[in-house]
């Protein structure tokens, strides 16, 4: 087995069309993992193996593979760039140690770049940045570096200088070794090191001085050498960059064009030099299920097994594939391991190392590795441990769906196929929700956007031969309260034998979290064993608000008092009392409707800026700002999702098809009073 110090678990993340999959393909080619380069949107791109990914030219699901650069094993996950598939990025970053953040050299920091940055910071992931597409018209790496600093708050350190711009882009100058790197051969596989061109020497010398000056803040030894006018050894530069990157104080920036086969080998060097091995990361914490205390999970192959199932997929031949990160210990074929959530032991009959959609059977894997377990029944987020150990890893953040569609089978024979498909999709994707409307009995699917749901509807047809009628998209509203109120409710029922009795008192008030329950009952007026039932009752109540039937969020319930009957009180009685107590006072708490607000980014020729701004304003949009890049401009705005359905056709019409836009969820905000009146009058659901 390879030593932990020689393993890198990394993800490639970015805004859509920044070139993630193209970069992944070159990485696999230069490391010898593949022998032919495939391209996005053309059959052959290794990491985009689904037919829908090939047709649409986008990554839909994250793909994992393993390759080797020099003596380092790189476990690589290529993630989607479209915001509708953000859960794929979320669960990948949850289990990775480092990341490559790819940015377009023209567009720079875009909306999904901001989302990815937030996700990386959430999981404290050290990263390097790769400014791609420097061969394109309008590319400006220095502007992108400044945007990394200004928009993302990163301490971005430029390690290279471009040789030429746009169509003249020929290679990069390494500011550490002060050499020019060119890429020769049919696919740029031969990196050729030459002296720096004379016409660039002065600029690169200045760029190196700026780099060392910024870097010296992290090294006293470097500061001393600079003050004494001494040469700074490259080994000291490498080690200083590495330590500052691992501590999240620095983001090294590299340059290139993956499509033109320039700069990718330098990215691989940076992965091995600057990104962490499993032993370099902060010690992972887990909860001891028995004591509920946090314990350390050191990256040690000799420790008891601790592994996290972070993604599940169904495979026609193999059954369920469970993508798993091993944090501690060793896993062997035939081992008995325990699922901490279900407390059930399972036998590992087979597990594999993934290469996109291909599998390599393996007999043993250890801490720091990512494998897929075959045919084991579990859920995403489950923790597996050695028998005798019972630890649970912290769950990942899962965003709430914002768009809902109704789906109805076209023919009788489609019904079972549709149910089978949707059940599978819900199990695989935590952001895909399947519900049945209690009144209309319609099947409802909810997700992160129209494209997200369109993909699943298309997959239903292709993979399950299930044809469905699709309703118009609907907004996933929320309800909340704006005023604190008290409740005092007694539930009594007498039906011959034992009756039902429960009395609850307390208050509900607005809060910044989805739901908070606080027990302030003293003196045993409500027995301890009934308190969880009270919480369940309040949770039942917030599942469906009384204004338009959508879930209630942002509520704190404080249970303060009550009473019980020795014979007639039960868990059911207190659960019922809590639900009715909430519903009785809900209207007095001045409930309001919340709607999802989307961060919209539109890129268009300068002549259409006025039209786009006017159109966004007419959609109740708030323009946050604009940026001009040569002949093109980018407008950023916050717009209610309700107003954005069908926007792709509208923006095409307004700009004669010359604009692109992206949209991602920003936050929930109260709807205007006039809109609330309309929604309540319609009943919405």
Domain of 99, CATH number, reads 3.40.50.300
Q: How confident is the chain (685 residues) per 10-residue block, as mean pLDDT?
A: 87 82 89 75 50 52 80 83 66 86 90 82 93 93 94 94 92 95 90 94 94 94 91 94 96 95 95 94 84 85 89 76 89 90 88 78 89 86 85 79 87 91 87 80 84 87 90 88 97 79 96 94 92 96 92 96 91 96 96 93 90 94 87 90 85 84 86 92 75
Q: Binding residue per annotation — 433?
A: no
Q: Binding residue per annotation — 16?
A: yes
Are residues 575 and 628 located together in one domain of the fold? no
Q: How many CB atoms lie within 10 A of CB 656?
A: 9
In this structure, are residues 557 and 521 in contact, taking their beta carbons and an 8 Å threshold?
no
Q: Alpha carbon of 123 to those of 119, 295, 501: distances in Å?
A: 7, 18, 47
Q: Binding residue per annotation — 134?
A: yes
Helical residues (DSSP H) of 153-219, grouped into ranges: 198-215
Distant-in-sequence, close-in-space partners of 630: CB < 8 Å, separation ≥ 6: 137, 138
Dist. CA 244–CA 250, nearest whole Å: 5
* Backbone phi and psi for residue 69, each to the nearest 5 degrees, phi listed first: -120, 115
Are residues 573 and 463 located together in one domain of the fold? no
Is 126 within the bounds of a domain? Answer: yes
Beta strand residue intervals within 83-139, DSSP E: 98-104, 127-132
Is 142 within the bounds of a domain? Answer: yes
- Residues forming beta bridges with residue 320, ordered by sequence position: 314
Q: Binding residue per annotation — 82?
A: yes
Q: Binding residue per annotation — 556?
A: no
Is 282 within the bounds of a domain? Answer: no
Q: Binding residue per annotation — 313?
A: no
In this structure, are residues 37 and 30 in contact, taking their beta carbons and an 8 Å threshold?
no
Are residues 607 and 584 located together in one domain of the fold? no
- Residues forming beta bridges with residue 492, ordered by sequence position: 501
460 half-sphere exposure, CB direction, 13 A CA radius: 29
Is 192 within the bounds of a domain? Answer: yes
Dist. CA 198–CA 355, nearest whole Å: 44
Please report, for the domain that includes residue 583, its CATH number.
3.30.230.10
127 half-sphere exposure, CB direction, 13 A CA radius: 29
Q: Among residues 308, 364, 304, which one has the least CA distance to residue 331?
A: 364
Distant-in-sequence, close-in-space partners of 45: CB < 8 Å, separation ≥ 6: 21, 25, 38, 39, 53, 54
- Residues forming beta bridges with residue 353, ordered by sequence position: 360
Dist. CA 428–CA 312, nearest whole Å: 5
What is the DSSP-derived secondary structure letter of residue 110? Answer: -
In this structure, are residues 170 and 180 in contact, taking their beta carbons and an 8 Å threshold?
no
Q: What is the pLDDT of residue 51?
A: 56
Q: Binding residue per annotation — 431?
A: no
Per residue in 268-293, pLDDT tens? 999 999 999 999 988 888 888 888 78
In this structure, are residues 264 and 23 in contact, taking their beta carbons and an 8 Å threshold?
yes
Q: Which long-range contacts (CB under 8 A, 24 or more apart) does 672-675 make?
A: 672/620, 675/593, 675/595, 675/642
Q: Binding residue per annotation — 612?
A: no
Tokens standing for residue 599: 């961060």
Are residues 122 and 176 located together in one domain of the fold? yes
Residues in the chain: 685
Dist. CA 537–CA 575, nearest whole Å: 4
Q: Binding residue per annotation — 18?
A: yes
Is 279 within the bounds of a domain? Answer: no
Please report, for the domain that includes residue 426, its CATH number.
3.30.70.870
Rounded to 5°, the CA angle 563-567-572 comes to 70
Per residue in 86-108, pLDDT tens? 677 777 778 889 999 999 999 88
Is 347 within the bounds of a domain? Answer: yes
Label residue 641 left, alpha or beta by phi (over 0 means left) and psi (-120 to 50 means alpha). alpha
Q: How many CB atoms lie within 10 A of CB 46?
A: 22
Q: Binding residue per annotation — 452?
A: no
Q: How far apart, in Å, do the first and last CA atoms of the chain sit?
A: 57
Q: Among residues 349, 393, 391, which one has the least CA distance to residue 372?
A: 349
In this structure, are residues 615 and 668 in contact, taking their beta carbons and an 8 Å threshold?
no
Are residues 319 and 451 located together in one domain of the fold? no
Are residues 536 and 434 located together in one domain of the fold? no
Are residues 130 and 222 located together in one domain of the fold? yes
Are residues 295 and 257 located together in one domain of the fold? no
Tokens standing for residue 16: 């859509």
Q: What is the pLDDT of residue 359?
A: 78
Q: What is the pLDDT of residue 76?
A: 87
Q: What is the pLDDT of residue 44?
A: 52
Helix (H, G, I), strand (E, B) or coil at 500: strand
Q: Binding residue per annotation — 81?
A: yes
Is 491 within the bounds of a domain? Answer: yes
Tokens standing for residue 329: 């210990």
Dist. CA 50–CA 356, nearest whole Å: 10
Helix (H, G, I), strand (E, B) or coil at 259: coil
Tokens standing for residue 29: 């080619």
Is 414 within the bounds of a domain? Answer: yes
Are residues 212 and 339 located together in one domain of the fold? no
Dist. CA 537–CA 555, nearest whole Å: 14
| Pairing assessment for the beta strands 98-104 and 443-447 based on DSSP bridges | unpaired
Dist. CA 578–CA 537, nearest whole Å: 5
pTM value is 0.73
In this structure, are residues 671 and 548 in contact, taking their beta carbons and an 8 Å threshold?
no
Dist. CA 254–CA 291, nearest whole Å: 46
Helical residues (DSSP H) of 171-252, grouped into ranges: 198-215, 220-227, 234-246
Q: What is the pLDDT of residue 20?
A: 83
Dist. CA 200–CA 204, nearest whole Å: 6
Dist. CA 153–CA 217, nearest whole Å: 17
458-490 in b/e burial notation, b at 16+ Cβ within 10 A? ebbbebbebebeeeebbbbbbbbbeeeeebebe
Distant-in-sequence, close-in-space partners of 218: CB < 8 Å, separation ≥ 6: 240, 243, 244, 249, 250
Domain boundary among 461, 476, 491: 476
In this structure, are residues 218 and 249 in contact, taking their beta carbons and an 8 Å threshold?
yes
Domain boundary among 589, 617, 645: 589
Distant-in-sequence, close-in-space partners of 155: CB < 8 Å, separation ≥ 6: 149, 214, 244, 249, 250, 251
Tokens standing for residue 334: 């035939």
Domain boundary among 430, 460, 476: 476
Are residues 566 and 665 located together in one domain of the fold? no
The dihedral over CA atoms of 133, 134, 136, 137, expressed in degrees to the nearest 10, equals: 140
Q: How many domains in the chain?
A: 5
Tokens standing for residue 232: 């700074």
Q: What is the pLDDT of residue 247?
A: 95
Helix (H, G, I), strand (E, B) or coil at 151: helix
Query: Which residues constitute the domain of residue 456?
Result: 403-476
Please report, for the domain that includes residue 376, its CATH number.
2.40.30.10
Q: Binding residue per annotation — 80?
A: yes
Helix (H, G, I), strand (E, B) or coil at 218: helix
Are residues 150 and 268 located together in one domain of the fold? yes
DSSP string, 444-487: EEEESSHHHHHHHHHHHHHHH---EEEPPPEE--EEEESS-EEE
Distant-in-sequence, close-in-space partners of 50: CB < 8 Å, separation ≥ 6: 60, 61
Q: Binding residue per annotation — 132?
A: yes
Are residues 266 and 227 located together in one domain of the fold? yes
Q: Binding residue per annotation — 15?
A: yes
Q: Alpha carbon of 77 to those of 66, 181, 339, 521: distances in Å?
A: 9, 27, 25, 49
Q: What is the pLDDT of residue 41?
A: 47
Residue 177, class by beta-carbon neighbours within 10 Å (0-12 exposed, 13-18 middle, 19+ buried)?
A: exposed
Distant-in-sequence, close-in-space partners of 201: CB < 8 Å, separation ≥ 6: none
């Amino acid at each position: 087995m390879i030593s932990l110090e020689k393993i890198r678990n990394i993800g490639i993340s970015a805004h859509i069309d920044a070139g993630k999959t193209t970069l992944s393909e070159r990485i696999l080619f230069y490391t010898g993992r593949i022998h032919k380069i495939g391209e996005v949107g053309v059959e052959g791109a290794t990491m985009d193996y689904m037919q829908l990914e090939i047709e649409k030219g986008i990554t839909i699901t994250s793909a994992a593979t393993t390759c080797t650069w020099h003596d380092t094993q790189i476990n690589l996950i290529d993630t989607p760039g479209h915001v509708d598939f953000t859960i794929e990025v979320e669960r990948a970053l949850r289990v990775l140690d480092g990341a490559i953040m790819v940015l377009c050299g023209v567009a720079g920091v875009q909306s999904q770049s901001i989302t990815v940055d937030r996700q990386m910071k959430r999981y404290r992931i050290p990263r390097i940045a790769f400014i791609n597409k420097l061969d394109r018209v309008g590319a400006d790496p220095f502007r992108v570096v400044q945007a990394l600093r200004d928009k993302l708050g990163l301490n971005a350190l430029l390690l290279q200088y471009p040789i030429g711009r746009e169509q003249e882009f020929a290679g990069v100058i390494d500011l550490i070794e002060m050499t020019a790197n060119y890429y020769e051969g049919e696919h740029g596989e031969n990196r050729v090191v030459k002296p720096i061109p004379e016409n660039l020497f002065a600029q690169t010398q200045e760029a190196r001085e700026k780099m060392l000056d910024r870097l010296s803040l992290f090294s006293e030894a470097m500061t001393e050498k600079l003050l004494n006018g001494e040469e700074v050894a490259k080994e000291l530069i490498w080690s200083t960059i590495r330590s500052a990157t691992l501590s999240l104080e620095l983001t090294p920036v590299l340059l290139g064009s993956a499509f033109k086969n320039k700069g990718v080998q330098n990215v691989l060097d940076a992965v091995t030099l600057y990104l962490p091995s499993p032993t370099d990361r902060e010690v992972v914490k887990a909860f001891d299920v028995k004591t509920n205390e946090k314990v350390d999970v050191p990256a040690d192959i000799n420790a008891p097994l601790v592994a996290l199932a972070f993604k599940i997929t169904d495979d026609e031949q193999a059954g369920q594939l469970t993508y798993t990160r091993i944090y501690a210990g060793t896993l062997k074929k035939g081992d008995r391991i325990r699922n901490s959530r279900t407390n059930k032991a399972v036998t590992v009959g087979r597990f594999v190392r993934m290469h996109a959609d291909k599998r390599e059977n393996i007999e043993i894997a250890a801490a720091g590795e990512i494998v897929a377990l075959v045919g084991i029944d579990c859920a995403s987020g489950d923790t597996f441990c050695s028998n005798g150990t019972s630890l649970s890893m912290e769950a990942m953040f899962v965003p709430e769906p914002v768009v809902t569609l109704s789906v109805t089978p076209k023919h009788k024979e489609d019904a079972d196929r549709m149910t089978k498909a949707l059940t599978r999709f819900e199990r695989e994707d935590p952001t895909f929700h399947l519900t049945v409307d209690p009144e209309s009995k319609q099947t409802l699917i909810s997700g992160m956007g129209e494209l997200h749901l369109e993909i699943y509807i298309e997959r239903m047809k292709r993979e399950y031969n299930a044809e469905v009628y699709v309703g118009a998209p609907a907004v996933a509203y929320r309800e909340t309260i704006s005023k604190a109120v008290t409740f005092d409710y007694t539930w009594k029922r007498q039906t011959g034998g034992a009756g039902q009795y429960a009395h609850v008192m307390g208050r509900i008030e607005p809060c910044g979290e989805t739901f908070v329950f606080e027990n302030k009952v003293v003196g045993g007026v409500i027995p301890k064993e009934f308190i969880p039932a009270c919480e369940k009752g309040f949770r039942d109540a917030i599942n469906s608000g009384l204004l338009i039937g959508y879930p209630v969020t942002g509520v704190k319930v404080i249970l303060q008092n009550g009473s019980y009957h020795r014979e007639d009180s039960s868990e059911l009685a207190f659960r019922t009392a809590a639900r009715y107590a909430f519903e009785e006072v809900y209207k007095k708490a001045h409930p309001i409707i919340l709607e999802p607000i989307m961060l919209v980014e539109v890129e268009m020729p300068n002549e259409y800026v006025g039209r786009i701004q006017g159109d966004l304003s007419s959609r109740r949009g708030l323009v946050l700002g604009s940026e001009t890049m040569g002949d093109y401009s980018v407008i950023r705005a916050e717009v209610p999702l309700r107003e954005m359905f069908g926007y792709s056709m509208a923006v095409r019409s307004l700009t004669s098809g010359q604009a692109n836009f992206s949209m991602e969820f920003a936050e929930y905000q109260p709807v205007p009073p006039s809109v609330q009146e309309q929604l309540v009058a319609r009943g919405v659901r």
